[in-house]
Amino acid sequence: MRTLRRRLATDTRYTLLGLPMAVAHFAIAVAGVAAGLGSAIAFVGLLILAGAAAMARNLADFERVSLREVLRRPVTRPPYRPAPAGAGWFRRVMNPLVNGQAWLDLLYGIVAFPISLATAVVTAVWWTGTIAGLTFPLYGWILARIPEVDGGVPALLGLGDSELTYVGFNTLIGVLFALTLVPIVRGAALIKANLAQAMLTRASYDPEPIAEPRWA
């Protein structure tokens, strides 16, 4: 039971707290690529692209760190080629753009955003349905006495308009949410994690330890 609670907490944290990071990743990728390509002919666009690629790499590192706990196995950071020794300042600044993985990091920010949004919404809805439904007997009697409620959904379904029916029906919905909470949240987390694994990691035979993100 403790393992199940820990798994549910991990998956919930990954889907809900991952949404702000996905928003930031999406904004950097879209704005950086659009501004960079739009002004590439003026040289400054290349600097914008390189900066966006560097920030996307750090955000991808945060995602990789989260993946280990969700997937319950080690994940491998792809290799990023450093600038050659003795390279000039321009070559060093442009170095993020010569790594193929950097472009995948940018693409992941765009592709993962709608999936992160969907998985966060599903997780939030299931948690809300569970908590609101299981605690409905505590406040449902008050709602049932509001004239505008008029029996609610049970009455529309022909189950009756009594207070007991109203409270019992909504509590049963909460029980159904609770019974499916673990597999639904786990499935949402795995959908997001599998996409991240496919785009941001490499097979274990090509190892490079995951470094903590560096904002430099």
pLDDT in tens, 137-147: 988 878 777 77
Alpha carbon 201 to its chain's center: 16
Say what the pLDDT of residue 77 is: 86
Tell me which of 199 and 87 has the higher pLDDT.
Answer: 199
CA distance 206 to 96: 20
Distances (CA, A) of 214 to 15, 56, 60, 135: 23, 11, 11, 44
Q: Is 206 exposed, middle or buried (0-12, 13-18, 19+ CB in 10 A)?
A: exposed
Q: What is the mean pLDDT of residues 170-197?
A: 95
212 closest CA partner among 113, 64, 54: 64
Q: What is the mean pLDDT of residues 18-33?
A: 93
Confidence of residue 191 (pLDDT cuts 50, 70, 90): very high
Q: Which residue has the tokens 């792809």?
A: 78
pLDDT of residue 205 exceeding 60, the answer is no
Q: What is the mean pLDDT of residues 91-118?
A: 89
Q: What is the mean pLDDT of residues 20-41?
A: 87
